[in-house]
Structure 1
Amino acid sequence: MPQTAAPLNDFGMIDIFFKTLPFFALIALGYGAARTRFFGPEATSAITRFVFYFALSAMLFRFSANLTMSEVFDPQFIMAYLLASVVIYVLAIIVAFARKQPVDVAAVEAQCAVTGNTGFLGIPMLALLMGAQAIGPTMMVLAVDLIVFSSLIVILITGSRDGRMRIGVLKTVAMGLLKNPMIVSIALGLAWSAYEMPMPQPLNEFVSILGAAATPGALFAIGASLADKSAERLEVAAWLTFCKLVLHPAAVAFAALVVFDVEPFAASVMIAASSLPVAGNVYMLAQHYKAAPQRVSASILISTTVSILTVSAVIAWVAVVPV
Structure 2
Amino acid sequence: MLAVLEVTLPVFALVFCGYVAAGRKMLPDKAVEGINAFVFRFALPAMLFRVIALRPIGELIDWRYTIGYVIAALAVYALVYRLARQGKLGGPPADGAHAAALSLHVTHGNVGYLGLALVAEVSAKALPTVALTIILDIVVIVVLSMVLMELQRGRERAGGSSPWVPVFASLSRSPLVLSMAAGLVVSFGGWQLPTVVDNFTRLLGGAAGPGALFAIGAALGGARLRFDREIWALLAAKLVLYPVAVALSLFLVFRPDPFVAAIGVLCATLPGASNSFIIAQRYGVPTGAISAATAGGTALSVFTVSLAIWLLGLR
TM normalised by structure 1 equals 0.91
Pick aligned residue for 2:143 from 133, 136, 151? 151
Pick aligned residue for 2:308 from 310, 314, 317? 314
Q: Matches of 1:97 and 1:31 in 2, distance apart?
A: 34
Cα distance, 1:118 vs. partner? 0.4
Aligned to 1:243: 237
Cα distance, 1:69 vs. partner? 1.2
Contact 1:60/1:185 (CA < 8 Å) preserved in 2? Answer: yes
Pairwise mapping of residues 105-254 of structure 1 onto structure 2 (< 5 A)? 105-129=98-122, 131-163=123-155, 167-231=161-225, 234-254=228-248
Residues 1:103 and 2:96 are matched in the alignment? yes
Q: Secondary structure at the match of 1:291?
A: coil
**1:109-140 CA distance string (max 9 Å, x none):** 111111100000101211221x2221111111
Cα distance, 1:241 vs. partner? 1.1
Aligned to 1:58: 46
Q: Matches of 2:65 and 2:39 in 1, distance apart?
A: 28
Contact 1:233/1:298 (CA < 8 Å) preserved in 2? Answer: yes
Aligned to 1:259: 253
Contact 2:154/2:161 (CA < 8 Å) preserved in 1? Answer: no
Cα distance, 1:202 vs. partner? 2.1
Cα distance, 1:165 vs. partner? 7.8
Contact 2:54/2:192 (CA < 8 Å) preserved in 1? Answer: no
Q: Matches of 2:171 and 2:60 in 1, distance apart?
A: 18
Residues 1:68 and 2:56 are matched in the alignment? yes
**1:180-229 CA distance string (max 9 Å, x none):** 21121122122223323232222211111111111111000000000122
Which letter does structure 2 place at the counterpart of 1:257? F
Q: Secondary structure at the match of 2:168?
A: helix
Q: Matches of 2:194 and 2:108 in 1, distance apart?
A: 36
Which letter does structure 2 place at the counterpart of 1:76? R
Residues 1:37 and 2:31 are matched in the alignment? no
Q: Which sections of structure 1, spanning at least 5 residues, go unmatched?
A: 1-12
Which letter does structure 1 place at the counterpart of 2:229? E
Q: Matches of 1:230 and 1:51 in 2, distance apart?
A: 24
Aligned to 2:90: none
Cα distance, 1:31 vs. partner? 0.4
Q: Secondary structure at the match of 1:278?
A: coil
Pick aligned residue for 1:47 from 19, 35, 50? 35
Q: Secondary structure at the match of 1:168?
A: coil
Pick aligned residue for 2:269 from 260, 275, 283? 275
Which letter does structure 1 place at the counterpart of 2:22? A
Which letter does structure 2 place at the counterpart of 1:248? Y
Q: Matches of 2:175 and 2:51 in 1, distance apart?
A: 14
Which shifted more, 19-28 or 65-74? 65-74
Q: Give runs of ≥4 in structure 1 deviating > 4 Å.
A: 164-167
Contact 1:238/1:302 (CA < 8 Å) preserved in 2? Answer: no
Q: Matches of 1:165 and 1:53 in 2, distance apart?
A: 34
Q: Matches of 2:58 and 2:160 in 1, distance apart?
A: 35
Q: Matches of 1:56 and 1:89 in 2, distance apart?
A: 26
**1:136-187 CA distance string (max 9 Å, x none):** 1111111111111111111111211222885532011112222221121122
| Percent identity (aligned) | 33
Q: Matches of 1:15 and 1:88 in 2, distance apart?
A: 32
Q: Matches of 1:42 and 1:295 in 2, distance apart?
A: 26
Q: Which sections of structure 2, spanning at least 5 residues, go unmatched?
A: 88-92
Contact 1:232/1:295 (CA < 8 Å) preserved in 2? Answer: no
CA RMSD across the alignment: 1.7
Which shifted more, 213-222 or 153-162? 153-162
Q: Secondary structure at the match of 1:146?
A: helix
